[in-house]
Amino acid sequence: MVRRIPENGECEIKWGAQLTVRESQTAVFFRDGKSLDVFAPGRYVLQTQNVPVIGKWVTGFGYGPKSPFRSEVYFVSMKLFPNLKWGTREPILFKDSELQMIRLRSNGIFSIQVTNPLLFINKIVGTQGGYKNSDISDYLKNIIISKMTDVLGNHIKSIFDMPKDFNQLALFIKTALQMDFDGLGLSLHDLYINTISLPPDVQTMIDARSGMSAVGNMDEFMKFKAAIALEGAANNPGGAAATGVGVGAGLGMGYILPQMLQQSISGSQAASSMSKEDPMEKIRKLKELLDIGAITKDEFESKKAILLKEI
């Protein structure tokens, strides 16, 4: 981003020496520790002491052995520095209106550009001989994460309200960051969010919640799981039933599954009575299905929580 000429100390400047600044560059001259001028792209010739330009270290062969003064020049790259990565080293603690306190991780990319070379040198680079974008990336990452935390708290109430397109959220964050970047002599050209991830256990809960919504009628789901378990037992008669636990489960399945299958084919009257069944009775049947291995523990806990709300 910045290169000082010379990298160590000052160089001798000659009268009549020329400075060439290429496109996408800016040159800043310092003399006696003070900045004298900022040069845009073009060619410049030293005319007075107030406009120092490059000297003996480039064109010393055309001048005498002595120079009238000593100075230093900083070449600042004005190009765009793209594809800088940011991410959360530690999870962000987020208060969700539905899930309470959860931890979020996020990552993405951003691009920067120097807009005020003199401010950038005085505030960030200092007297270093060279400065790269990797030298400032960690500092900028911390600023991005700090502002992202504020934006999430002010604009998002629940992770279920996250925008379908992260561009809207990224725009809020970029707007909040612009003043901080301006104070460093930089412009935040763009900022993108790649992912916002949840802890595995929270993701499991969300998947279970989505699964419950997809199931719809719980009674029909229980019958379906029972039928699947019965089919599995029929296809593997010498499996789990060979153990003591398997024998017990098989006996329990022999008593329970026929009853549930009978209910499933008893017509609309049986379905109506099933829908009016007491929630505690449904929980008891769920426990029986769990004991025989027809449903998983996560499925049992998820459905039990819904039934308890009906009591």
User: In the listed set 198, 231, 256, which residue is the last one of a domain according to the structure?
Assistant: 198
45-54, 212-221, 241-250: least confidently modelled range: 241-250
2-11, 130-139, 241-250, 282-291: least confidently modelled range: 241-250
| Preceding peptide of 6 cis, ω within 30° | yes
Pair 92, 48 in one domain: no
Domain that holds residue 228: 202-309
Question: Which is more confident, 236 or 150?
Answer: 150
Instruction: Give the residue ranges of DSSP H helices in 110-243.
Output: 117-120, 133-155, 166-182, 200-215, 218-235
**Angle between the 218-235 and 268-275 helix axes, to the nearest 10 degrees?**
110
In angstroms, rounded to a whole number, what is the distance separating the alpha carbons of residues 212 and 36?
A: 70
Q: How many domains does the chain have?
A: 3
pLDDT digits (tens, 9 = 90+) for 89-127: 888 888 877 777 888 888 999 999 999 999 999 888 887
**Number of neighbours of residue 113 by Cβ within 10 angstroms:** 16
What 8-state DSSP symbol labels residue 49? T
User: In the listed set 77, 102, 131, which residue is the last one of a domain according to the structure?
Assistant: 77
Confidence (pLDDT) at 19? 81
Question: Which is more confident, 119 or 254?
Answer: 119
Pair 189, 153 in one domain: yes
Pair 64, 98 in one domain: no
Domain harbouring 136, CATH code: 3.30.479.30
Give percent of the chain with pLDDT exceeding 70. 65
pTM: 0.58
In angstroms, rounded to a whole number, what is the distance separating the alpha carbons of residues 262 and 238?
A: 26
